[in-house]
Amino acid sequence: MNALLRFSNLVDALNERIGKASSWLILVAVVICSVNAVIRYAFNMSSNGWLEIQWYLNSAMFLLVAAYALKLNAHVRIDVIAGKLSARAQAWIDLLGGVFMLLPAMLIIAWYSWPSLINSFHIHEMSSDSGGLVRWPVRLLIPVAFGLLALQGLSEIVKRIAFLKGLIPNPAEHKQGAA
């Protein structure tokens, strides 16, 4: 179990670093949007590439912070019933949900997104808009982000098992105030 907890700590650190770094992408997108607007109105110039890079940055930010949100227990939950249960019962719900819902869904999405990425890369797919960007980098975000989310799901499963065995404190508790 100690090796699994070390793995969990590595995954947590990786997703925390990626999540915090990715959160800065929204600032980059806002700066690009602002500069693009000034250039468009002041000099009557623009490019679809500038608009698309904003979409790419927004996509990257939302996709790459998802695993970090799971680590922080900041994802959307419906705790109408589970919120009234004991910490052990909640850990069981998280454990079973992770094993039977989260992991399969993440792995299926990551797996089935690869053919689209590979095809896009091989044909040098470009945006259909004039002056648009190449598409494969944004397609790469999908398997990467869902792969990271699957790894974080594994980390959360390991932590729930360790909690249920009495080896660590409740991993959901310390995350409530974290940001």
pLDDT in tens, 145-156: 999 999 999 999
For the chain, the average pLDDT equals 91
Residue 178 lies in a domain: no
Residue 171 lies in a domain: no
Residue 123 lies in a domain: yes
Residue 110 has pLDDT above 70, yes or no: yes
Residue 173 lies in a domain: no
Q: What share of the chain is helix, strand, coil (3-state, %, to 5)?
A: 75, 0, 25
pLDDT in tens, 10-51: 999 999 999 999 999 999 999 999 999 999 899 988 888 888
Q: The domain containing residue 61 runs over which residues?
A: 2-164
List of residues 6+ apart from 21 with CB closer than 8 A: none
Residue 51 lies in a domain: yes
pLDDT in tens, 60-108: 999 999 999 999 988 777 777 777 889 999 999 999 999 999 999 999 9
Residue 179 lies in a domain: no
Residue 30 lies in a domain: yes
Give pTM, 2 decimals: 0.88
Cα–Cα distance for residue pair 15/25, rounded to 1 Å: 15
Q: Number of structural domains, the chain?
A: 1
pLDDT of the residue at 177: 46
Residue 129 has pLDDT above 90, yes or no: no
Residue 46 main-chain phi, psi, to 5 deg? -170, 175
Closest CA to 52 of 145, 142, 136, 135: 135
Cα–Cα distance for residue pair 71/155, rounded to 1 Å: 8
Query: Cβ(157)–Cβ(71) under 8 Å?
Result: no
